[in-house]
Amino acid sequence: MKIAEIKELTIKELETRKREIRQEVFHLRIQQQGGQLEKPHMLRSLRRDAARLETIATQKRKAVAAK
């Protein structure tokens, strides 16, 4: 996910998307433990996306609180 796409989302949409990504990471980890993970780079990519979402959500919450 690109930063420009993330910045367009609302706080609620950011939280929902972050939850979905965390679920994906969980399922990929289970596949990894079973030796069935075909794309191990996806774990790192999804974790970074989740961090980006959290960063933008925090920035938006602070902006709302400042007003």
Q: What residue segments make up the domains of the chain, in order of their start?
A: 3-66
Q: What's the CATH code, domain 3-66?
A: 1.10.287
With contact defined as beta carbons under 8 Å apart, do 5 and 52 qualify? Answer: no
Check: pTM over 0.75? Answer yes or no.
Answer: yes
User: What digits encode the pLDDT tens for the residues 3-60?
Assistant: 999 999 999 999 999 999 999 999 999 999 999 999 999 999 999 999 999 999 999 9
The pLDDT score that the predictor gives to residue 19 is 97
Residue 64: pLDDT band with limits 50, 70, 90? very high
- Is residue 39 packed enough to be buried (19+ CB in 10 Å), middle (13-18) or exposed (0-12)? exposed
Report H helices in the chain: 3-8, 11-33, 41-66
Residue 2 scores a pLDDT above 90: no
